[in-house]
């Protein structure tokens, strides 16, 4: 797999302007055992109309980062300890609950990992989509249902007029994820956050959902922050990539740069672990998984957090945490190499 | 249609108890000069005391289901009439107390669950424990001491022959119902508050609640439409399971305040060895429990769309 | 409840993906009982209530040895008196000492509570093991019966059974013992359902576990299997259920006595004391207050201890 698989995409007019700028974000959780430093210094920027992928293994703080952007984490036990989240030039962190509600769905839509549990089982999908648009746009009941049906049609759900009256349990996992996407896009947000939208789905369905996301982005022109733990997904969808490890960003680059010249040993490992394209549809085997596991975020190790699993580790790596620095124009990495 | 097997099951248990009971429960009627021998023979025949057991069971069951419950030795009227006279009072007292219990449990349980481990939550939790650890017979006596004897506000004995008319009649009835309803309602309210709280705590962590928040809905709407609405589903089941306890409490309460319902009828009948009444009231209680279970099933299906489509 | 483990604490922090690492798992190894004790201690009310409960048990057991006032010393000159030095909790309408009677009644209430709990646990373990072991139709039938028992109108049935059987049993073993056996058996038979469900659930959750398979392959007898592997695993939740059963049984017995249909009138159970006192509320409130408080305190303490035990022994359950 290389950068050549990513094709050039039509670039929406407003590209280039920063839409979202997360800087120095730290989110900690108070637990019985101490502070879990789930997000511990994260910088991510998303331009208008751009797709940014956030990659990293399970448990490295991607979901917490995404949820923090909409302030959906439970506080307490969670707390935004430091950093800012600028959205269209305004900082989200100090915003009041009322200000947040105006941003949720209207400005930033979100799709979660688990389509089976993300919808309320006791309401029809039509009711759930209509609820969103009625709240933000004050539509009449009838108009809201029409919008719901339109949204279902947009995400390629067959016979949408009939399906709006169905309950979530009457949809398959892939179809529910389409409903979630329809709901997240129903108020035409400027940014869509998709948190591992395909992880819970079958391999064939995964491809369809990614395709749908790409299609939606092209038609509606919103920016997308796509969170995933699979490098394969990155190559196919993103323009820029942020690699996270143990609550920190360890590398950031354009897709082409990253695949051609991965700087951080963790990124290199992730790329090596991509299933080959000809096997991808039939097997789940990781060809070369990175040995070891993500360290505890309770007491992160001193120095480079990847040291325990890194094949190039030296004394210097253990002494101090390598900062995220620009190694080449537009290509940052946090490694002493 | 779960109700029919349970009704059969309960009737089998009831019948087994009767069949296993030592001696002939009607034996002493023979020695009771107040009961004419024809009545006794008629009773024996209507219960078919001498047939094989399964025939006796079915005959007994059909007689019970048709309301042929015999004749009260003490009141000297048909048992079904006697019960029909008293059933409305019991249902009104139980009904109002359940409404009171819900009116307490829903808001308090939801408020406590949405502020878990806060002072309010801890106070509510402690009070709930106190509430359902206080047996109804003791609460009843405490209420009488407090409201009737000390404050002198409420009558402590239920009066069936209120002479007043118009709104005065209503007022007297409400006044004398306050304590029985309060005793039952507070007890159930305490238990249900805990059910509501734990059900809400279970739902509030679910993904779809985060989805609702992500939509930008106000917190009140998220709580009512996406948390409480879903939490009602398990609460209905738990409430249905409490029905036997509710009826037990009703018997005690009616006895304390001399409310003329079927609960106090049961106690009077037992103290007077009025066997047909005892059996009929037990049977009616069994039917009521099943009826409420059935009702709970219907509400459950209505609350949870996943059920009706199965 | 005060000091309970917050929900969020069970969210795994770090560790292998997909493996739930509870905070406890990463502590230095300590025995599960120490761990349970550590959790129990956090529930302050439960700790306080265990103290109250133990005090009450000790009081009713050894109290009468020191407080040697007869329970049936009739003395009309001191009838219906409030608390005094001679009679710390006052007297009833016959001038009998209430403290002595409450201590005596406490023995009966607690004895009924614990005995009925043992009956319930015995039947529950039996039914649960049978259902879990047999599976299939037997299991379905037993679970149906369990659900049926949960929807029985208990108090009316209890009253009916006692009405029908009391005289026969009393004739065989005497009034006091007869009623005791009857009440304990029936209350026990009305409270086994929770235990049965828990034990059965343990079977199903352990059925696929390797060590059970291994034990079976080694030819362990079914009884041994249940005794060595299933029950110890179900122990925590069963203890919690059993605790609540004690409270339920005490309330059931007091209710019967309060309705005048429990133990014979000369035996001063707590419920019976209330029954006798209820017509004298206006001039002798102490007569009803003290036995009522005794029941309330006992039941409340047991319920709180049960809640603490749930935190301690059944931590996965979110209350
Ligand atoms: N509510 C919480 N309380 C305590 N720790 C939490 C909480 N939510 C998340 N965490 C911790 O934060 C870390 C990052 O989690 P997450 O963002 O879900 O990872 P990812 O999405 O990358 O798989 C994990 O170690 C997790 O245990
Ligand atoms: S800093 Fe050292 S340990 Fe960390 S990734 Fe780079 S080489 Fe490996
Ligand atoms: Mg995640």
Residue-wise pLDDT for A230-277, tens only, equals 887 787 778 899 999 988 999 999 988 888 888 899 998 888 877 655
Q: Under a CB-based contact definition with an 8 Å cutoff, are residues A235 and A207 in contact?
A: no
B47-69 average pLDDT score = 74
pLDDT at B309 over 50: no
Report the range of poorest mean pLDDT among A28-42, B99-113, C23-37: C23-37
Higher pLDDT, residue A103 or B307: A103
| Interval B199-212: pLDDT, tens | 999 999 899 999 99
Residue C302 sits in the same domain as residue C212: yes
In this prediction, residue B196 has a pLDDT band, given cuts at 50, 70 and 90, of very high
Residue C24 sits in the same domain as residue C41: no
Tokens 């491809």 found at? A207
* pLDDT of A68: 94
Q: Under a CB-based contact definition with an 8 Å cutoff, are residues C277 and C287 in contact?
A: yes
Residue C211 sits in the same domain as residue C289: yes
C226-235 average pLDDT score = 76
**A contact residues 67-86, partner C, Cβ 8 Å cutoff:** 74, 77
Local structure of B67: helix, strand or coil: coil
* pLDDT of B52: 73
pLDDT at C318 over 50: no
In this prediction, residue B31 has a pLDDT band, given cuts at 50, 70 and 90, of low
Helix (H) or strand (E) holding A228, with range, is strand A223-228
* pLDDT of A43: 92
Name the region of A108 (left: φ>0; alpha: ψ -120 to 50; beta: rest): beta
C187: containing domain? 35-317
A223-235 average pLDDT score = 85
| Interval C142-158: pLDDT, tens | 998 998 888 888 888 88
In terms of Cα–Cα distance, which of C114, C143, C147 is closest to C127?
A: C143
What is the three-state SS of B73-136?
A: CCCCCEHHHHHHHHHHHHHHHHHHHHHHHHHHHHHHHHHHHHCCCCHHHHHHHHHHHHHHHCCH
Residue C130 sits in the same domain as residue C217: yes
Average pLDDT of the residues of chain A: 85
Residue B264 sits in the same domain as residue B299: yes
Q: Which residue has the CA at smallest separation from atom 10 of ligand 1?
A: A38
Residue B33 sits in the same domain as residue B99: no
Spatial separation of the C-alpha atoms in residues C75 and C92, rounded to whole Å = 10
Residue C135 sits in the same domain as residue C17: no
pLDDT at B163 over 90: no
Q: Domain total for chain B? A: 2
The CB-based long-range contact list for C174-180 (8 Å cut-off, 24+ gap) reads C175/C264, C176/C263, C176/C264, C176/C267, C179/C262, C179/C263, C179/C264, C180/C108, C180/C111, C180/C112, C180/C115, C180/C263
In a domain, B70, yes or no: no
Residue C222 sits in the same domain as residue C298: yes
Residue C198 sits in the same domain as residue C51: yes
pLDDT at A12 over 80: no
Q: How far is the CA of A285 from the centre of ligand 1 (A)?
A: 25
* pLDDT of C17: 38
pLDDT at C114 over 90: yes
pLDDT at A281 over 90: no
Angle at which helices A203-220 and A173-185 pack, to 10 degrees? 20
CATH number at C311 reads 1.10.3720.10
Largest CA distance in chain B: 79
Contact criterion met (CB < 8 Å) for B210 and A120 = no
Contact criterion met (CB < 8 Å) for B216 and A169 = no
Residue B100 sits in the same domain as residue B201: yes
Spatial separation of the C-alpha atoms in residues A42 and A225, rounded to whole Å = 14
Local structure of A242: helix, strand or coil: strand
Q: Which atom of ligand 2 is nearest to the CA of A305?
A: 4
Q: How far is the CA of A114 from the centre of ligand 3 (A)?
A: 10
Residue C113 sits in the same domain as residue C152: yes
In this prediction, residue C10 has a pLDDT band, given cuts at 50, 70 and 90, of very low
In a domain, B289, yes or no: yes
In a domain, B74, yes or no: no
Residue C25 sits in the same domain as residue C106: no
Residue B12 sits in the same domain as residue B139: no
Higher pLDDT, residue C195 or A295: C195
| Interval C189-224: pLDDT, tens | 999 999 999 888 887 777 666 666 666 666 667 677
Higher pLDDT, residue C218 or B282: B282
In this prediction, residue B34 has a pLDDT band, given cuts at 50, 70 and 90, of low
Q: A104: which 2 tokens?
A: 């949720």
* pLDDT of A239: 85
Higher pLDDT, residue B123 or C36: B123
Closest to B218 (Cβ–Cβ): which among A67, A101, A109?
A101
* pLDDT of A277: 54
| Interval B218-243: pLDDT, tens | 999 999 999 999 999 999 988 888 88
Q: Give the up-direction half-sphere exposure of residue B263: CA atoms within 13 A in the CB hemisphere.
A: 29
Q: Which residues contact A78 (CB under 8 A, 6 or more apart)?
A: A27, A28, A29, A38, A64, A68
Spatial separation of the C-alpha atoms in residues B264 and B66, rounded to whole Å = 24
User: What is the assigned CATH class of domain A3-238?
Assistant: alpha beta
* pLDDT of B54: 78
Residue B96 sits in the same domain as residue B60: no
pLDDT at B256 over 80: yes
In this prediction, residue C98 has a pLDDT band, given cuts at 50, 70 and 90, of confident
Domain boundaries, chain A: 3-238, 265-337
C160 chain-B contacts, CB cut-off 8 A: 14, 17, 278-279, 282
Tokens 């998303």 found at? A46
B19-43 average pLDDT score = 64
Contact criterion met (CB < 8 Å) for C16 and A33 = no
Provide Rg for chain B, Cα atoms: 23
* pLDDT of A330: 85
The CB-based long-range contact list for B283-288 (8 Å cut-off, 24+ gap) reads B283/B11, B283/B14, B283/B64, B283/B69, B284/B83, B284/B87, B285/B247, B285/C153, B285/C156, B286/B7, B286/B10, B286/B11, B286/B14, B286/C152, B286/C153, B286/C156, B287/B7, B288/B243, B288/B247, B288/C153
Residue B204 burial by CB count (10 A; 0-12/13-18/19+): exposed, middle or buried?
buried
What ipTM, to 2 d.p.? 0.85
The neighbouring-strand residues paired with A25 are A42
Residue B113 sits in the same domain as residue B58: no
Q: Which of B14, B35, B65 represents a domain boundary (last residue)?
A: B65
pTM of the prediction?
0.83
Q: Domain total for chain C? A: 2
In a domain, B79, yes or no: no
Helix (H) or strand (E) holding C271, with range, is helix C270-277
Residue B197 sits in the same domain as residue B263: yes
* pLDDT of B46: 63
Q: Under a CB-based contact definition with an 8 Å cutoff, are residues A187 and A130 in contact?
A: no
Report the range of poorest mean pLDDT among B221-225, C186-190, C234-238: C234-238
In this prediction, residue B35 has a pLDDT band, given cuts at 50, 70 and 90, of low
Contact criterion met (CB < 8 Å) for C5 and A32 = yes
Residue B46 sits in the same domain as residue B113: no
CA distance C207 to chain A (A): 28
Provide Rg for chain A, Cα atoms: 20
Nearest C-alpha in B relative to C169: B22
Spatial separation of the C-alpha atoms in residues A337 and A315, rounded to whole Å = 13
CA distance C94 to chain B (A): 21
Best residue among A322, A332, A334 to mutate for probing ligand 2's pocket (most ligand atoms within 8 Å of CB) is A322
Q: Under a CB-based contact definition with an 8 Å cutoff, are residues A68 and A39 in contact?
A: yes
In this prediction, residue C2 has a pLDDT band, given cuts at 50, 70 and 90, of very low
Residue C80 sits in the same domain as residue C197: yes
B19: containing domain? 3-65
Residue B294 sits in the same domain as residue B255: yes
pLDDT at B149 over 50: yes
DSSP string, A63-105: HHHHHHHTT-S-TTTEEEEEEEEEETTEESTT--HHHHHHHBT
Average pLDDT of the residues of chain B: 83
Residue C15 sits in the same domain as residue C64: no
In a domain, B308, yes or no: no
Sign of CA dihedral A34, A36, A41, A47: negative
Residue C125 sits in the same domain as residue C173: yes
CATH number at B159 reads 1.10.3720.10
Spatial separation of the C-alpha atoms in residues A269 and C156, rounded to whole Å = 71
């Amino acid at each position: 797999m290389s950068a050549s698989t990513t094709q050039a995409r039509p670039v929406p007019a407003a590209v280039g302007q920063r839409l979202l700028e997360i800087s120095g974000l730290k989110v900690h959780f108070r637990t019985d055992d101490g502070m879990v430093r789930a997000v511990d210094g994260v910088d991510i920027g998303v331009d208008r109309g751009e797709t940014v992928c956030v990659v990293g293994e399970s448990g490295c703080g991607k979901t917490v980062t995404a949820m923090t952007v909409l302030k959906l984490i439970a506080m307490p036990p969670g707390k935004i300890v430091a950093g800012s989240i600028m959205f269209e030039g305004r900082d989200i962190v100090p915003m009041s609950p009322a200000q947040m509600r105006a941003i949720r769905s209207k400005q930033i839509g979100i799709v979660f990992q688990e389509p089976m549990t993300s919808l309320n089982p006791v309401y029809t999908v039509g009711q759930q989509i209509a609820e969103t648009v009625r709240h933000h746009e004050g539509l009449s009941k009838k108009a809201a249902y029409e919008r719901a049906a339109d949204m279902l049609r947009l995400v390629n759900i067959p016979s949408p007029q009939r399906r709006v009256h169905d309950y979530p349990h009457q949809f398959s996992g892939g179809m529910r994820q389409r409903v979630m996407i329809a709901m997240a896009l129903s108020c035409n947000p400027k940014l869509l956050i998709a948190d591992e939208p395909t992880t819970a789905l079958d391999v064939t369905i995964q491809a369809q959902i990614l395709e749908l996301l790409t299609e939606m982005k092209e038609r509606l022109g919103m920016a997308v922050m796509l969170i995933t733990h699979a490098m394969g997904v990155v190559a196919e969808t993103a323009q820029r990539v942020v690699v996270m490890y143990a609550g920190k960003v360890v590398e950031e680059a354009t897709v082409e740069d990253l695949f051609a010249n991965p700087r951080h040993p963790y990124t290199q490992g992730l790329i090596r672990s991509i299933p080959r394209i000809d096997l991808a549809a039939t097997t789940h085997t990781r060809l070369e998984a990175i040995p070891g596991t993500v360290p505890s975020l309770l007491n992160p190790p001193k120095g480079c957090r990847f040291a325990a699993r890194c094949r190039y580790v030296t004394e210097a790596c253990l002494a101090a945490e390598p900062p995220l620095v620009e190694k080449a124009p537009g290509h940052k990495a946090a490694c002493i190499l | 249609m779960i109700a029919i097997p349970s009704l059969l099951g309960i009737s089998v248990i009831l019948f087994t108890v009767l069949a296993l009971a030592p001696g002939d429960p009607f034996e002493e009627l023979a020695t009771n000069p107040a009961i004419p021998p024809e009545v006794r023979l008629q009773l024996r025949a209507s219960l078919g005391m001498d047939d094989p057991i399964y025939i006796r069971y079915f005959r007994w069951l059909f007689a019970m289901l048709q309301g042929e419950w015999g004749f009260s030795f003490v009141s000297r009227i048909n048992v079904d009439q006697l019960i029909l006279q008293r059933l409305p009072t019991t249902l009104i007292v139980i009904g109002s107390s359940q409404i009171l219990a819900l009116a307490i449990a829903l808001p308090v349980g939801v408020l406590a669950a949405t502020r878990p481990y806060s002072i309010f939550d801890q106070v509510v939790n402690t009070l709930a424990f106190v509430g359902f650890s206080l047996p109804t017979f003791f609460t009843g006596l405490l209420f009488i001491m407090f409201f009737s004897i000390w404050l002198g506000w409420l009558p402590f004995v239920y009066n069936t022959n209120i002479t007043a008319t118009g709104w005065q009649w209503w007022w007297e009835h409400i006044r004398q119902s306050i304590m029985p309803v309060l005793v039952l309602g507070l007890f159930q309210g305490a238990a249900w508050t805990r059910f509501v709280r734990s059900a809400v705590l279970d739902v509030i962590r679910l993904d779809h609640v985060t989805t609702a928040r992500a939509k930008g809905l106000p917190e009140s709407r998220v709580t009512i439409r996406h948390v409480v609405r879903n939490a009602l589903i398990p609460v209905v089941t738990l409430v249905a399971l409490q029905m036997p306890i509710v009826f037990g409490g009703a018997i005690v309460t009616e006895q304390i305040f001399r409310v003329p319902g079927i609960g106090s009828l049961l106690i009077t009948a037992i103290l007077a060895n009025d066997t047909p009444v005892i059996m009929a009231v037990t049977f009616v209680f069994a039917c009521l429990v099943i009826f409420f279970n059935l009702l709970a099933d219907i509400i459950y299906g209505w609350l949870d769309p996943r059920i009706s489509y199965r | 409840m005060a000091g309970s483990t917050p929900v969020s604490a069970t969210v795994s922090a770090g560790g292998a993906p997909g493996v739930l690492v509870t905070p406890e798992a990463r502590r230095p190894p300590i025995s599960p009982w120490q761990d349970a004790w550590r959790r129990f201690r956090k529930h302050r009310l439960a700790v306080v209530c265990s103290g109250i409960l133990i005090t009450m048990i000790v009081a009713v057991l050894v109290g009468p040895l020191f407080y040697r006032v007869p329970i049936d010393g009739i003395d009309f000159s001191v009838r219906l008196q409030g608390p005094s030095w001679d009679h710390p909790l006052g007297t009833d309408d016959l001038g009998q000492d209430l403290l002595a009677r409450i201590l005596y009644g406490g023995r009966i209430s607690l004895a009924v509570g614990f005995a009925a709990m043992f009956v319930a646990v015995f039947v529950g373990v039996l039914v649960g093991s049978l259902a879990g072991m047999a599976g299939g139709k037997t299991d379905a039938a037993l679970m149906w019966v369990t659900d049926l028992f949960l929807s029985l109108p208990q108090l009316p049935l209890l009253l009916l059974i006692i009405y029908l059987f009391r005289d026969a049993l009393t004739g065989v073993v005497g009034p006091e013992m007869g009623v005791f056996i009857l009440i304990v058996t029936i209350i026990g038979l009305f409270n086994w359902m929770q235990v049965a469900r828990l034990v059965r659930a343990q079977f199903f959750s352990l059925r696929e576990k390797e060590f059970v398979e291994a034990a079976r392959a080694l030819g362990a007898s079914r009884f041994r299997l249940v005794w060595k592997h299933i029950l110890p695993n179900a122990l925590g939740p069963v203890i919690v259920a059993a605790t609540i059963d004690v409270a339920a049984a005490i309330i059931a017995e007091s209710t019967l006595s309060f309705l005048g249909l429990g133990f014979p009138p000369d035996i001063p159970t707590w419920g019976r004391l209330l029954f006798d006192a209820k017509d004298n509320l206006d001039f002798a409130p102490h007569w009803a207050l003290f036995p009522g408080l005794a029941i309330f305190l006992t039941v409340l303490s047991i319920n709180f201890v049960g809640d603490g035990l749930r935190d301690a022994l059944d931590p996965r359950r979110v209350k």
